Amino acid sequence: MDDKTLLSRILGESRTTRREFMVGATAMGLTVAAASNMWSEARAAEPKRGGHMKAGLNDSNTTDSLDPASFNATGMICISRAFRDSLVEVGQDNSAAPGLAESWESSADAKIWRFKLRSGVTFSDGKSLTTEDVINSINVHRGDDSKSGAKGVFAGITDVKADGKDVVVVTLAEANAAFPYLMTDYHMNVVPTKDGKADVTSTAGTGCYLLKEFDPGVRATFEKNPNAWQGSDFGYVDSAEITTILDDTARQTALSTQNVDIINRPALKTVGLLKRLPHVNVIAVKSNLAFTHPMRMDVKPFDNIDFRMALKHALPRQEFVDKILFGYGSVGNDQPLGPAFASYDGELQTEYDLDKAKSLLKKAGMEGMKIDMHSAETAYGGALDAAQLFAEHFAKIGVELNVIREAKDGYWNNIWNNKPFCSCYWGARPVEDMILSIAYLSDAPWNDTVIKMDKVDQLVKAARGELDDAKRNAMYKDVQMLISKNGGTLIPAFGQDVAATNKKVGIGPNIGGGWEMDGGHFVKRWWLNA
């Protein structure tokens, strides 16, 4: 073990005093100044307790509800993760970490999964957590009558039952080696049972915080839950509030004037200005975040594959990375599985070729076509600028793109998945099956391109049960090719999850994926330094 590693280990010991560390460090040859600085930096990174944390977030709507089946944006994800829990959560190392289930195991064929619940967990109203609560919470997202955005994720479940007082048994129609990751889906809140059903709008949760105020699309406030089962490990601040600030400039001004401590999605075109402020820290986390532009394949002219491919060949991918993401991303290839997945096919690409695009338009008989594109900045930062960039390049092949600026509030309910062509983004998911089951299977509830390909359906379902990593990755590469060459979404790039904080906000060495803002868990995982 080298000296640096040994010193780091000594620093990690909570019992180590400053005097003891200084004696050991100087004995190893460090100067007093260097050792003192090393001690200060290490102690500054330790979580502190107390204080009131304020966040200003994009991506909320006045139509938001506490019903987890309806969640579709960052605001409700972060609110729910503060006062509710799931059976399994994506840890800060991006592994499947125990949540309300302290452990799980599967049958040899990965069709039967047993989740052992933690003992002694109570909801904030004093009710004890039971297997009935978990079963009813899962069933919210199952069945023909379910309206949940996670319906596709849990479509493979055939039965959910209790085995004794603390084990929930989930049976699948087909094997799924990654099933615990599906339990991390942000819709999968465990809520209390009332009158034999999941009380989906209950404010009672098992999370680190109590939900004290909820004004949809406006504000939510929280106070520390004194009985939280994670209270000794997380939940550092005494209280917190999340305010919706949809306007990029207003959100950044709130941070720069120290009216909030944290914001998500700073405008990338001006993020350099934020970095210059002495009290601001900009965070960028590599992600499978996909910037998508769905074209409904059941509506003309997007039902024509030659027309869709013409637009793909005219898509300015590198310019999107340079001018819209300002380098915070990488070129995409019109399919949703990003570069952080082991299955990602980096060689799959649709080249920028205007001559080929014109040829495909002529073949489709759609030269001089005029189309509308609906967009708003709430779709993602820079979405309107991106739409204008697309219009500029589509004009080069004779397609006139009319950009319709939509209201930010209500965009996800009124525009996305309703209009034939719009701006969109898909946050990262921990495993491939989650994004594909939600949006790319023929019967997926959020199939925003109305793609219906039997081969894709077959491959996705087969990959779930494939226990051999190499074979499963090969299947997902085939899926990527099929969607890229036949599907109805333009994905010019994959991005990074970018946030900005006051430097007094403490964040651990790892930031979890699965969604922006530490997988949505920032309220309970981040802290305030004095």
What CATH number is attached to the domain comprising 181? 3.90.76.10
Instruction: Supply 265's token pair.
Output: 């999605």
Confidence of residue 30 (pLDDT cuts 50, 70, 90): confident
Has residue 513 been placed in a domain? no
Same domain flag for 315 and 384: yes
CA nearest neighbour of 390 among 316, 325, 323, 332: 316
CB neighbours of residue 315 within 10 Å: 24
Report the mean per-residue pLDDT for the chain: 93
Q: Quick check: 200 pLDDT over 60? A: yes
**pLDDT at position 12:** 52
**101-125: average pLDDT:** 97
56 and 72 part of one domain: yes
User: Looking at the structure, do residues 57 and 97 belong to the same domain, yes or no?
Assistant: no
Domain co-membership, 389 together with 312: yes
Instruction: Reply yes or no on whether the pLDDT at 308 is more than 90.
Output: yes
Average pLDDT over residues 295-308: 98
Strand partners, 473: none
Tokens representing 382 are: 């820079």
Whether 350 and 421 share a structural domain? yes
Q: Is there a domain that residue 509 lies in?
A: no
Residues 340, 252 within the same domain: no
Residue 44: predicted pLDDT: 59
In terms of C-beta density within 10 A (0-12 exposed, 13-18 middle, 19 or more buried), how is residue 439 classed?
buried
- Residue range 234-256, pLDDT digits in tens: 999 999 999 999 999 999 999 99
DSSP string across 356-380: HHHHHHHHHT-TT-EEEEEE-TTTS
Choose one of 198, 233, 248: the last residue of a domain.
Answer: 198
> Residue 17 pLDDT > 70, yes or no?
no
275-313 exposure pattern, b = at least 16 Cβ within 10 A, e = fewer? eebeebbebbbbbbbbbbbbbbbeeebbebebbbbbbbb
Per-residue pLDDT tens over the stretch 448-463: 999 999 999 999 999 9
* Same domain assignment for residues 239 and 136: no
Give the rounded percent of residues in the chain with a pLDDT score beyond 90.
86
Do 315 and 254 fall within a single domain? no
Q: Would the pLDDT of 216 be above 80?
A: yes
pLDDT digits (tens, 9 = 90+) for 144-161: 899 999 999 999 999 999
Mean pLDDT of 39-65: 86
Q: Which pLDDT score is estimated for 31? A: 84
- Which residue has 């949006």 as its token pair? 439
Res. 326: pLDDT tops 60: yes
Whether residues 306 and 401 share a domain: the answer is yes
Is the predicted pLDDT of residue 118 greater than 60, yes or no? yes
Q: What is the pLDDT of residue 179?
A: 95
**Residue 276: per-residue pLDDT:** 96
pLDDT value of residue 322: 97
Q: What is the predicted pLDDT for the residue at 512?
A: 84
pLDDT for res 195: 97
29-33, 37-41, 402-406: which is most confident: 402-406
Q: What is the pLDDT of residues 166-196, one digit of tens each?
A: 999 999 999 999 999 999 999 999 999 999 9
Contact 526, 509 (CB under 8 A): no
Whether residue 510 is contained in a domain is answered as: no
CATH number where 241 lies:
3.40.190.10
> What is the reported pLDDT for 518?
96
d(CA 227, CA 225): 5
Total number of domains in the chain: 4
Query: Within a domain: residue 511?
Result: no
What is the mean pLDDT of the segment spanning 402-426? Answer: 96
Instruction: Give residue 7's pLDDT.
Output: 56
Q: What is the pLDDT of residue 11?
A: 57
Q: Clarify whether residues 194 and 313 are in a common domain.
A: no
In a domain, 503, yes or no: no
Residue 514 lies in a domain: no
For range 211-233, the mean pLDDT: 97
Claim to verify: residue 292 and residue 151 sit in the same structural domain: no
pLDDT at 284: 94
Q: What is the CATH number for 309?
A: 3.10.105.10
**Which structural domain, as residue segments, surrounds residue 13?**
3-44
Average pLDDT over residues 111-122: 98
Q: 39 pLDDT band (50/70/90 cuts)?
A: low
The pTM of the full predicted model, rounded to 2 decimals, is 0.84
Instruction: With a cut of 80, say whether residue 405 has pLDDT above it.
Output: yes
SS3 479: helix
The DSSP secondary structure of 271-309, one letter per residue, reads: HHHHHHSTTEEEEEEEEEEEEEEEB-TTSTTTT-HHHHH
- Banded pLDDT at 15 (limits 50, 70, 90): low
My answer on whether 369 and 420 are in the same domain is: yes
Q: Please say if the pLDDT value at position 341 is more than 90.
A: yes
